[in-house]
Amino acid sequence: AMAAFVPLFGASLKGKDGDVETAAALEGKEAVGVYLVTLANAEFSAALMKACAEGLTEKGLAIVLLAHDENDEEAEATLQTFAESPFMALPVASKAEKEAVMAKFELEAAPALVLLDQEGEVLTSEGVAKVTEDPAGEGFPWKDVGPPTLTEEDILVRMGNMAPEPGESGFKGVFLNSKNYLPLGFVTDAEEKDDVPFSGFKLKPYIMINKEAALFEVKKMGFASDWDQHKKEIAAFPGPELLLLFDPERSYGEKIIMTITQEAFDRETARLEARREEIIAEFEAEQAGGAGGGEG
């Protein structure tokens, strides 16, 4: 907490019973709410105090008050309205800190409530609406869900089967023991699960393997290694990594195809990269369409 909050608020804040150390007072809180408030915001202030007393404080919400009245006298009066609450306040005299905090979190008019995590990152800037709609804090700390992202797994799911056409050069079918699918990264779960796209015998469209690691395994395990019968081709391959493609149709005799020439490796990685770029472009177009009301 020290790292995030002391630069924001200074070393100490005003607490119910006198000054408190900023770092200690805010440490470990689920959320730190910065509340920009004036005397005129009595209605929301009362709602916030009630919500905190009835559970939000217990759930880990700490409030730091920034009085935003016309003059110091009114600001002190505003803070006085919270005298019985566990809230802390930025001292009225700390004007530079207040301005910096307002600028940083774009707090323009009271009432405004922005919730921060322990890193000082914004969880939500819609605190007033959140507390009003959900005073019991069922959705607390109301972390804003950013725009949907495309994960590596999403890309591979969209890719689907990327096996090459039958009869192309530079490939060899290789048999892999299914217990090696997980350590190699062909699946993320050894047991097949409906909600895990790459699990059990549902393999990723492709993986890369490290040539040296494969040869080292042969040295260590001999014919018990899946790579033993392919060690000549692996050793002769010029690059540091080999590409393995999943081929459910077994066009090359096995479910896994390995690239054994640089030409095949380059050709296939270019094909995969082109498909990956298409998927990213499609996703970005979907997002733009969704956000922009789908013109075009």
- pLDDT confidence band for 216 (50 / 70 / 90): very high
Q: Where are the beta strands (DSSP E) in 25-184?
A: 31-37, 61-67, 88-89, 112-116, 122-124, 171-174
The token pair that represents 241 in the structure block: 């990594």
Distance CA 232, CA 230 (A): 6
* pLDDT tens by residue, 54-110: 999 999 999 999 999 999 999 999 999 999 999 999 999 999 999 999 999 999 999
3 band by pLDDT with thresholds 50, 70 and 90: low
Give the model's confidence band at 294: pLDDT under 50 very low, under 70 low, under 90 confident, else very high: very low
Predicted pLDDT at 149: 82
Domains of the chain: 5-133 (3.40.30.10), 152-290 (no CATH)
- Main-chain phi, psi angles of 244, to 5 degrees: -115, 130
The predicted-structure confidence for 43-57, as pLDDT tens digits, reads as follows: 999 999 999 999 999
The reported pLDDT for the residue numbered 290 is: 62
Task: Quick: pLDDT tens for 112-150.
Answer: 999 999 889 999 999 999 999 999 999 999 998 777 788
DSSP assignment of 195-206 equals T-SSBTT---SE
Q: Are 104 and 118 in contact (CB under 8 A)?
A: no
Residue 292 has pLDDT above 60, yes or no: no
Q: Kindly report, residue by residue over 254-284, the tens digit of the pLDDT.
A: 999 999 999 999 999 999 999 999 999 999 9
Distances (CA, A) of 98 to 13, 61, 64, 91: 12, 20, 11, 9
Which residues share a beta bridge with 37? Answer: 67
CB 227 within 8 A of CB 234: yes
pLDDT(296) > 70: no
Assess whether pLDDT exceeds 50 at residue 293: no
CA 37 to chain centre: 32
What is the rounded CA–CA span in Å between residue 52 and residue 99?
26
Q: Residue 2: pLDDT above 60?
A: no
Question: Tell me, what's the pLDDT at 30?
Answer: 94
